[in-house]
Copies of this chain bind each other. A is one copy, B any other.
Amino acid sequence: MMATGERDGQTPPSEGGAGASPGDKRISLAEAAALVQEGDTLALGGLTLYRRPVAFVRALLRRPDPPRHLTLLALTAGFESDLLVGAGLVERVRTCYFGLEVFGLAPMFTQAAGEGRLTIVEETEASIAFGLRATLAGVSFMPGLGWLGTEMLSVRPDVKVVQDPYGEGEYVAFPAIACDVAVLHALRADREGNAVLGGNLGIDQELAMAARRVIVTAEEVVERLDEPLDLAGLVVDGVVPAPRGAWPTSCYPFYPLDGEALLRYVEACPVHFADYLDAWLRGDDE
């Protein structure tokens, strides 16, 4: 990435992508998947069933030695995250919604949570948004409205409440969220990592700035993008051409959500997850 010297943050941005100097950051899906290490916090861009980096998840699961003990970070988690949970890569989940919307509960997440096999870092929209903003601002927290009066704090004993220094009340001090690798799926990218995400931004821009390493998978990778960008290549370490890389989630306006594929998944799981995964990794469902 850029060469701006040392940084003193808790989670400094990455210090040099695959291609080092700005230039060609294109790598393969397998190379991208190899960047994730045991115990990393892995953030997945997009929203629930929309523009998720599914091709990347498949590459990660195809690794001979898939990294384990991951912390999965997403504003909302869906199909792609459920696969990672089902395959046993995920130890902790940080999200404010894990499910398949009208297609139902996320079966492997629901099962693993019910069996006590997951650590859930209970989040809300505000805790994720303020937490990422804290990371970007280089501070340990951001105060915000929310949570007080609910039982959220009882399941997040790590989260503190601070006194309002200018008044009588108190605020939740939403803690900074660190991220090792963020993976975002783009409509278009260029080889420097500049990218167009479309209008459904979610928290992708903040994830890209907060993460130590950033991978962009894209429907199309061109030489140079000159349209208005959603993401500057400055923060991107690897660019991966991945046509239909969000399938079966949607990549609006290029292709719709594949609801039939989601139904096949929810009907197979959790009972037949292993078979489903084998077939999916072979590409039978592509």
- Residues on A lying within 8 angstroms of B by beta carbon are 130, 137-145, 160, 162, 164-167, 171, 173, 175-176
Contacts and interface: CB of A to CB of B under 8 A. Distances in A.
A160 B167 CA distance: 12
A247 to B, nearest CB: 28
Nearest to A138: B145
Contacts of A142: 142-143
Contacts of A176: 166
B175 A166 contact: yes
Count the copies: 2
A244 to B, nearest CB: 27
Q: Kindly name the residue among A130, A143, A144 whose own CB sees the greatest number of chain B CB atoms within 10 A.
A: A143
Contacts of A143: 137, 139, 141-143
A140 B164 contact: yes
Contacts of A166: 140-141, 160, 173, 175-176
A165 B162 contact: yes
A145 B164 CA distance: 18
| Nearest 8 Cβ contacts at the A-B interface | A140-B166, A160-B165, A139-B143, A138-B145, A165-B173, A140-B164, A162-B165, A140-B167
Nearest to A134: B143
A175 B143 CA distance: 12
Contacts of A171: 139
A145 B143 CA distance: 15
